[in-house]
Amino acid sequence: MKEIPLGAHGRRHLLVTPETAIDFLGDERARVLSTPHMIAYMEWAARDALLPYLDENEDSLGTVVHVRHLAATPVGMSVEFTATVTGVEGRRVTFRVEARDEMELVGEGMHERFVADIPKLVSRLAAKRPR
């Protein structure tokens, strides 16, 4: 793993579609970006921020998500997700995450990821599986 600078950032974009919108409000006109999809795109933006600093056998895993979903984004509107490195402690990296649609801030918070050695992770997972 290379040194990860504070301020490193990643971005993801999403056009809200029926597949990324909640569908349990009972009215098609009320379909909006779901909170689980918002969180997933925040995590992907954070992972994207780390990828340039990782070695070949490394990747990152989400370990903490603390976010607020502030406003609804309807189907058909675009959202930009950003993640900015705010702290690095060994292999733990913290981020400020945000989601903005075409009109306003719709989500914000903190996310933490752990840089993992994939072969070690695979070995640990194998030890946990039933024989």
Span 100-113, average pLDDT: 98
0.85 cut: is pTM over it? yes
HSE value, Cβ hemisphere, 13 Å, CA-based, for 37: 20
First to last CA, the chain: 33
**Average pLDDT value over all residues in the chain:** 95
Chain segment 46-99, per-residue pLDDT in tens: 999 999 999 999 999 999 999 999 999 999 999 999 999 999 999 999 999 999
Enter the DSSP assignment of 123: H
Catalytic residue among 69, 73, 94, 112: 69
Nearest-5° Cα angle at 64, 117 to 111: 95
Catalytic residue among 13, 17, 28, 35: 35
> Does residue 37 have an active-site annotation?
no
Of 57, 38, 24, give the one whose Cα is nearest residue 108: 38
Catalytic residue among 43, 58, 98, 112: 43
Residue 114: pLDDT band (50, 70, 90) is very high
Provide the pLDDT for residue 26. Answer: 77
Provide the pLDDT for residue 75. Answer: 96
Instruction: Please say if the pLDDT value at position 116 is more than 80.
Output: yes
Provide the pLDDT for residue 115. Answer: 97
Span 24-43, average pLDDT: 91
Length of the chain: 131
